[in-house]
Amino acid sequence: MSNKYKVCVYAICKNEEKFVDRFMDHFSDADVVIVVDTGSTDNTINKLKERGAIVYSMDARPFRFDYSRNECLKFIPDDIDICVSADLDDVIESGWRKHLENAWTKETTRGLYLYNWKVNDDGSPAVQYTWDRIHARHGYRWIYPTHEILEYLGEGEQKQVYIKGMVVNHYPDKTKNRSLNLPLLKLAIEENPNSSRNTYYLGREYMFERNWDDCILTLKNYLSLPTSNYEEERASSMRFIARAYCEKGEILNAKKWYHKAISESISLREPYIELSLLAYREKDWLGVYYYATEALKINKKTFNFANDENAWDYTPYDLAALGCYNLNLMVEAIEFSEQAIKLSPNDKRLLNNHKFYLDSL
């Protein structure tokens, strides 16, 4: 069957030669692959060219993601219908072209799909959310120095479709230097001080850097901004504030902010799980049991970017089992333990705990 649309995959890269073959293998159904290299000193450029990609080199100093992606956009031919933005550490699942063309129409301007940001060793998704980096050739540009997004500049309203069956898996280079994130986020705030989105990411980055005071200050500022109206993002910022207070030893403040997160978005497991883990630290076994089982009452996973893997893996069942055991509820402990093992059958600690629960009957 002939293709209905012309599809271009485009990317930026630097020193990623180890990903080239895998990237080109998985995106081979594209009509053209265009890559802008921002300063590789390894063999990335030659390998990409050998595999059929069209490669351009540019001096990206001072580096920012939006500028580099926009430069790449300039090289995409005007007759391309669909642009698929990807990174070299992305792996798209087979059949993607068919799924894309089945969903796309002549009126479509933007495509949404499932993105597995973190993948477990067994190939199952750990953190996944809906992503939106597929777009029409014209009417879009990238904005923000980091955590960049597409801005629609076309006429009328953008027309979005969800591309059912299209899945992209992310396998990042864990050795890569991520130190640019913090200065680029600070730059983003300098350029747009009222951006709630970038303020959120800056506060989160302070948390990653273990800068607890700036994390709390920045995320409280985020919550005060009039554009801070995305419920799940607000809830996750409250969790991050709670984590920071935990690290500072201010446990009562931490508990207050975890409960704020619960009231902000009642459909999320994450604050319950973190409260259960905090109760575990305090040996509050009733709290461990209560918060874990409250989390398990939420059985519909949201595909927002702020979900945590331990809310949907074996952890809630494991915590519930531990709580039950210490409350002398052995039958219930065994039942929860069985569920935890189903989700992580090779975990020696879970298996040993389960044997211990059985022996305690």
What digits encode the pLDDT tens for the residues 100-138? 999 999 999 999 999 999 998 888 888 899 999 999 999
Distance separating alpha carbons of residues 165 and 98, to the nearest angstrom:
9
CB atoms within 10 A of CB 36: 23
Sequence-ordered alpha helix ranges (H) in the chain: 17-26, 44-50, 65-74, 96-103, 181-191, 196-208, 212-224, 231-247, 251-264, 270-281, 285-296, 315-326, 330-343, 348-359
**Helix/strand/coil for 113:** strand
The confidence band for 173, taking pLDDT boundaries of 50, 70 and 90, is confident
- pLDDT of 250 over the 60 cut: yes
Model pLDDT, residue 304: 80
Q: What percent of the chain has a predicted confidence (pLDDT) above 90?
A: 90
CATH number for the domain formed by residue range(s) 269-361: 1.25.40.10
Distance separating alpha carbons of residues 122 and 359, to the nearest angstrom:
30
Q: Is 165 left (phi over 0), alpha (psi -120 to 50) or beta?
A: left
- The phi and psi torsions of 161 (rounded to 5 degrees) equal -130, 150
Domain ranges for the chain: 7-170, 197-266, 269-361
CB atoms within 10 A of CB 224: 10
Instruction: Give the pLDDT mean for 148-171.
Output: 96
Domain 197-266 has CATH 1.25.40.10: yes
Report cis status (omega within 30 of 0) of the bond before 172.
no
Q: What is the CA radius of gyration of the chain?
A: 23
Residues 202 and 184: beta-carbon distance below 8 Å: no
Distances in whole angstroms, Cα of residue 9 to Cα of each of 104, 118, 229, 301 = 16, 22, 33, 30
**Contact residues for 283 (Cβ-Cβ < 8 A; gap 6+):** 326
Instruction: Give the pLDDT mean for 211-239.
Output: 97
**Contact residues for 187 (Cβ-Cβ < 8 A; gap 6+):** 64, 145
Asked whether this chain's domains 197-266 and 269-361 adopt the same fold, the reply is: yes
Tokens encoding 168: 């992209």
Model pLDDT, residue 15: 95
What digits encode the pLDDT tens for the residues 59-106? 988 999 999 999 999 999 999 999 999 999 999 999 999 999 999 999
Burial of 182 from C-beta contacts in 10 A (0-12 / 13-18 / 19+): middle
Model pLDDT, residue 83: 99
CB atoms within 10 A of CB 150: 22
Predicted model pTM: 0.91
Residues 214 and 186: beta-carbon distance below 8 Å: no
Instruction: Give the pLDDT mean for 299-310.
Output: 86
Q: What is the mean pLDDT of the chain?
A: 96
State which fold the 7-170 domain adopts: Spore Coat Polysaccharide Biosynthesis Protein SpsA; Chain A (3.90.550)
Residue 61, CB-side half-sphere exposure with 13 Å CA sphere: 3
